[in-house]
Amino acid sequence: MNIRFLHKATMPLFLGLCLLLVSFSESLAPIYQGPDIQIIGKDFYKDLKSEFNRYSYQIDALNNEGSPLSLQNITPIHQDSDIQIIRKDFYKDLESEFNRYSYQIDALENGVPPLILQNLPGDLNKIQSNKHRKSIFFKALLPMILLANDEIRVERKQLLIIAQLLSAKKLLNKQQLQTIATLSKRYKVKFNNSQPEKTVVKLLNRVDIIPEDLALAQAANESAWGTSRFSRVANNLFGQWTFIPGQGIIPEDRPAGATYEVRKFATIYDSVRSYLLNLNTHSAYKQLRKLRTGSRLNGQSPNGLKLAEGLLRYSTRGEDYVKELQAMIRYNQLGRFTTVKLRARS
């Protein structure tokens, strides 16, 4: 059979199968869908003025669109959710904050409060009980992983609607084409304007969630349960690098001649979002995305234990690293967090 003919014949079938997956999606909360938000905290007005200048933000020259800035505790992510951005330097203060929201790790029937942490407490290593430390760590990370995954769910829903139109041989309007173009840029897919269905197929492979159990296990593993230097100083829980000088922290054991730095994030939430985007775009994790797409086409939700098999290249330890993540998921029963929802209000 002609390969080109086979490709054209199977393309509508693939899009159709993707549409069937909508019924398996979790309930969607309305999420901010504009440009990336920058969360800034400045104690002196001169520092704030310098930050405004960095964005060419002048009160008398507002014709140009700029990056939306959020000061301290205000950021529109879930428009119908009362999100709280909190900063606590001591774990007992963070626990008190959790108690204020009646947030218990073993009682999530009423949902998880939408909380964003600017940082993790610097004294997590002083907690003697491993169970106690793990409980605080999981409670701290879970809301942000749910929030970030919900952002992806909204993007995926947009793509599935577009896929439905393409499957029905309908023309896309300007806004729908712009959606494809925007997502293509974000997820590093080449936009084929003449054949948008090809782009949509590639995007559906990338624009998808990372299961909460896998994200929690990797965060715990890479950050030593939030006690590592980079998690404390750089809000970097997943060991991500940057090659832009001055944008991160230089590792003490960096080899001579190396130029990478450990990336620094403004908040823990930024670290989570960057981690999800990394797994969804980097060529090293192509196998993870293939496994996830296979699950979707079989009518199954992504499974952390299975997707961990696609992380052989995340660590130089390879298969041992994968087995360790899977053991962490099983031992800590992290699968229980893959079905919880965010509360509408914190």
Place of tokens 């494809």: 180
State the average pLDDT over residues 237-242. Answer: 87
Q: What distance in Å separates the CA atoms of residue 121 and residue 129, rounded to the nearest whole number?
A: 16
CATH of the domain at 314: 1.10.530.10
Compute the residue count for the chain. Answer: 346
Question: Are 114 and 169 members of one domain?
Answer: yes
Q: Establish if 5 belongs to a structural domain.
A: no
State the average pLDDT over residues 220-233. Answer: 94
Question: Are 186 and 143 members of one domain?
Answer: yes
Where a domain ends, among 71, 87, 116?
71
Q: Establish if 217 belongs to a structural domain.
A: yes
Q: Using CB atoms within 10 A of its CB, is residue 4 exposed (0-12), middle (13-18) or buried (19+)?
A: exposed
Domain containing residue 91: 10-37+75-338
Question: Are 89 and 168 members of one domain?
Answer: yes
Q: What angle do CA 279, 285, 287 make, to 5 degrees?
A: 130
Are 291 and 210 a contacting pair, CB within 8 Å? Answer: no
Q: DSSP class of residue 37? A: P
Of the candidates 235, 221, 248, the residue with the CA atom closest to the CA atom of residue 315? 221
* pLDDT confidence of residue 20: 43
Question: Are 43 and 96 members of one domain?
Answer: no
Question: Are 62 and 123 members of one domain?
Answer: no
The 3-state DSSP class for residue 332 equals coil
Q: Establish if 50 belongs to a structural domain.
A: yes
Chain center to CA of 244: 21
Helix (H) or strand (E) holding 174: helix 174-186
Among 57-71, 130-144, 277-291, 324-338, the minimum mean pLDDT is found in 57-71
Q: Using CB atoms within 10 A of its CB, is residue 203 exposed (0-12), middle (13-18) or buried (19+)?
A: buried
pLDDT band at 250 (very low <50, low <70, confident <90, very high): confident
Per the structure, the count of domains in the chain is 2
Tokens encoding 214: 């896998």
Question: Are 18 and 53 members of one domain?
Answer: no
Question: Are 86 and 139 members of one domain?
Answer: yes
Q: What distance in Å separates the CA atoms of residue 46 and residue 42, rounded to the nearest whole number?
A: 9
Question: Are 24 and 161 members of one domain?
Answer: yes
State the average pLDDT over residues 123-134. Answer: 96
Instruction: Name, in order, each residue with C-beta under 8 angstroms of 141's C-beta and a sequence gap of 6 or more.
Output: 215, 216, 219, 237, 268, 272
Tokens encoding 210: 């990372």
Q: Establish if 25 belongs to a structural domain.
A: yes
Q: Establish if 346 belongs to a structural domain.
A: no
Q: DSSP class of residue 115? A: E
Question: Are 199 and 273 members of one domain?
Answer: yes
State the average pLDDT over residues 132-137. Answer: 97
Where a domain ends, among 71, 96, 123?
71
Q: Establish if 4 belongs to a structural domain.
A: no
Q: Establish if 278 belongs to a structural domain.
A: yes
Q: Establish if 281 belongs to a structural domain.
A: yes
Where a domain ends, among 55, 71, 87?
71
Question: Are 31 and 45 members of one domain?
Answer: no
Any bridge partners for residue 263, and if so which?
A: 248
Are 77 and 151 a contacting pair, CB within 8 Å? Answer: yes
**pLDDT by residue (tens digit) across 6-45?**
444 455 555 554 444 433 333 333 333 334 445 455 555 5
Question: Are 325 and 204 members of one domain?
Answer: yes
Question: Are 57 and 87 members of one domain?
Answer: no
Give me the chain's average pLDDT, please.
Answer: 83
> CA 319 → CA 237, 279, 303, distances in Å?
21, 17, 18
Across 331-342, b (16+ Cβ under 10 Å) vs e yields: ebebbebbebeb
**pLDDT by residue (tens digit) across 142-192?**
999 999 999 999 999 999 999 999 999 999 999 999 999 999 999 999 998
Tokens encoding 302: 């992504």
Q: What distance in Å separates the CA atoms of residue 29 and residue 147, rounded to the nearest whole number?
A: 9
